[in-house]
Amino acid sequence: RAGRVLVEPDLSVPGSPEIFVIGDAALVLRPDGRPVPGVAPSAKQEGRHVAATVRARLAGDTGPRPFHYKHAGDLATIGKRAAAIDFGWIKLTGWLAWWLWGIAHIYFLIGFRNRLAVSLSWLWIYVTGQRSARLITQGDDDKT
């Protein structure tokens, strides 16, 4: 229904073992028949798997390498200062979940500069209630 490509267990296209599809473009089925969610954590796992598969093939190992998805949990922001977290062993909603959601997203950013920039931007929004970026548009007043 979502227009995804049904892939083999190793994430290759059926009939074309040299082509791989990952992320939300791939329909990957778990052992229980449910699809792997099309979210960033699964795409990252799929990318690592495909890289390892390509490395192994280049080294001469052509054996089957099925992908195994490891679900780490779900995080979702559901409004201003509210979120929902489900790690299986713990479920949280509300303000504390919102803070944990923010910390998790900053943690997974690449590089200290990006983490610092996003942290300061989010802190500014939290303290002032104002976004740091504004859209500037020009009106139709200058028509001749």
Averaged pLDDT score across all residues of the chain? 87
pLDDT-derived band at 63 (thresholds 50, 70, 90) equals: confident
pLDDT-derived band at 137 (thresholds 50, 70, 90) equals: low
Largest Cα separation within the chain, whole Å, is 71
pLDDT tens profile 15-58: 999 999 999 999 998 888 899 988 888 999 999 999 999 999 99
Q: Which residue has the tokens 């699809």?
A: 35
Identify the residue with better confidence: 31 or 130: 31
Domain segments of the chain as ranges = 5-58, 74-128
Exposure string (b/e) for 11-27, b if CB count within 10 Å is 16 or more? Answer: bbeeeeeeebbbeeebb
What is the rounded CA–CA span in Å between residue 97 and residue 59?
45
- Tell me how far CA of residue 129 lies from CA of 105, 117, 132, 137, in angstroms: 20, 17, 10, 22
